[in-house]
Amino acid sequence: MSCDQCREREAVIHLTQIVNEQVTTLHLCEKCAAEKGVESPGAVAKTPLGSFLAAMGKGTEQAPAPLAREACARCGATFQDFRETGRLGCPDCYRTFEAPLRDLLRRLHGSTHHLGERYAEREPSAAQAREHAAELREQLRLAVETENFELAAEIRDQLRVLE
């Protein structure tokens, strides 16, 4: 059988896809398959979604049986819903399904600990606000100096909001 894509080389990979509930099978040669980002059989999925789904499968094996049925008290989503859609229902789902999610996050990101900016601490300090205002006043001075009044008005508005 020749490759559906290039119609030249021998098809070695047979990819079955379900799109809009229609099953289609694609026969591809190794080269076209690689171009389409399809791994040869047996290879571990390297795409984010591939590793994600693999991880989800493993997550459920380890999850205790009741968990699959347990629903999030806030939005009603179950872990089964998540497995089907790949999307959680609401922020509380992260608490409801904490154990299997923790496992999943470790597989996806190699960690469960957020090390980036922290939301609660984001309020800029008064010092920062003063600094920003000083910066704007300097820009305003320059704008007036260069007679760029449109810009000056813009900066003045920004200062007003800030103050």
User: Considering only residues 11, 13, 32, 104, which one is a binding residue for other proteins as defined by CB under 8 A?
Assistant: 104
Q: Which is nearer to other proteins, 63 or 105 (CB)?
A: 105
Which of 1, 116, 147, 150 binds other proteins (CB under 8 A)? It is 116
Q: Residue 38, interface with other proteins (CB under 8 A)?
A: no
Q: Which is nearer to other proteins, 38 or 108 (CB)?
A: 108
Rg for the chain (alpha carbons), in Å? 27
Q: Is 49 exposed, middle or buried (0-12, 13-18, 19+ CB in 10 A)?
A: exposed
Nearest distance from residue 102's CB to other proteins, in Å?
A: 9
Local structure of 78: helix, strand or coil: strand
Taking the C-alpha atoms of residue 1 and residue 10, their distance in angstroms, rounded to an integer, is 6
Q: Which residues bind other proteins (CB under 8 A)?
A: 19-20, 34, 46-48, 52, 74-77, 85-91, 93-94, 101, 104-105, 108-120, 122-124, 157-158, 161-162
